[in-house]
Structure 1
């Protein structure tokens, strides 16, 4: 069966690569379609764009589920799917991490006890999907002010020797203090220390975030299509 070209870059199909390498143990599905458990993230991927692969993806989904796909080319799914979102995102990759002074700010590692606060912050700032078990994908770091979680960042997909940075968010009332830059620097250093390469995804029209990531030494690698699908009723 056709599968993504083995000569392509691991990040050209980041979800498929992650679910067939480092996160293979988490994958639901088979050789045609795979996804993460829905309580972790709605990310999914197909081996190709054939009707058979989309049928395999549909078989994994309940009527309430969404499937988020990252692909080099635009997705044209069969009529059995409804396209909820079709947009583009920039895939950015890091060089050497840029040092960002913390100026006495404590950066803490977040865990399962912090999940309610993490969900509350991501619901407010909307950096992307964050669910009850998303934190299981990797390290998450945060900053608290007066006991309240006001900024966070974490790791999500791990395609081969790359690690995706995710959930970059700061409470709206506390922006401009450099918290995002501090957290980007901290998480990037941790990733690089393990011999991995940091990367992330950002919607093409999010110019302020792209500027922030560039200040951290990240550059756009390529543009991907972001497609959100539901089963057509």
Structure 2
């Protein structure tokens, strides 16, 4: 990876960037129509996206709101958080990177077709084959998804996911293994970016920190590494068990 990431401490806490908490910014902004929200916590419907976000991951009240939103003893991912409060179980943690389009050449792809709800079964098959990240039955509703077909079969796709104000995330970039090496993913990324820029937004994307091949590709076509990202999958406290157990009695 050729570009360094600014330490978190170097960013001013008084002026956080909208992409520092992109899921929250999307759910309280352009994607508010999807938001299921309790106070300082919000999430997408479970058949749309797994993203769950907090207004401030350092605020214990936001975690209390999240527990109320998703319910006791529930496993949920939390974007932008690293350590949950006491009583929460960390099931898994992940490291990624966030890249922004600084020199990306965007242009339509004449061979690309718009994908919609009727294409979801094919999309899910391609996602299962290529594993670009989570894609659910209604994810296609989040924005424009474009695909390329070969002899009627969907072989490559890319689309839009998070939409913080002024920005749109490119996601679900994938190509069937039998058709890789032809630049299909790059053409689709450029085409999706063209649509994003037409409405005045700037493209960005996320990748797993371990996926150095994809990161190098994105950098080579005009994305710049902005920062490292972290996320956790947590289990909410099971208040029902606490209530069942009742107070502890210790006899002297």
TM > 0.5 fold call: yes
- Which structure: larger Rg? 2
One of 205, 224, 227 as aligned partner of 2:229: 224
Among 46, 52, 63, the residue aligned to 1:54: 63
| Superposition map of 1:1-233 within 5 A | 7-48=15-56, 49-62=58-71, 66-71=75-80, 75-98=82-105, 106-231=111-236
Partner of 2:5: none
8 Å Cα contact 2:63/2:85 also seen in 1? yes
1:39-98 deviations in whole A, cap 9, x for unaligned? 100101112223322121122225786433332xx5211344332321211100002432
Task: Give distance in 2, aligned partners of 1:27 and 1:100.
Answer: 32
> What is the alpha-carbon root mean square deviation over aligned residues?
2.1
In 2, distance between residues paired with 1:188 and 1:165?
8
Quote the Cα distance in structure 1 between the aligned partners of 2:191 and 2:75: 32
Please state whether the residue corresponding to 1:21 is helix, strand or coil: coil
Deviating above 6 A after TM superposition, structure 1's stretches of 4 or more consecutive aligned residues are none
Q: Structure 1 residues 59-68 or 150-159, which shifts more?
A: 59-68
CA distance in 1, matches of 2:171, 2:73: 24
Structure 1 position 125, deviation (Å): 1.1
Question: Can you give the 5+ residue segments of structure 1 that lack an aligned partner in the other structure?
Answer: none
Give the whole-Å Cα distance in 1 for the aligned partners of 2:189 and 2:211: 17
**Cα distance in structure 2, aligned partners of 1:114 and 1:80:** 42
What is the number of equivalent residue pairs in this alignment?
A: 225
Cα deviation digits, residues 5-51 of structure 1 (max 9, x gap)? 66210001111111111112211113321111111001011122233
| TM-score using structure 2 length | 0.82
Distance 1:92 1:132, change over 3 A: same
Mapped contact 2:107–2:194 kept (Cα < 8 A): no
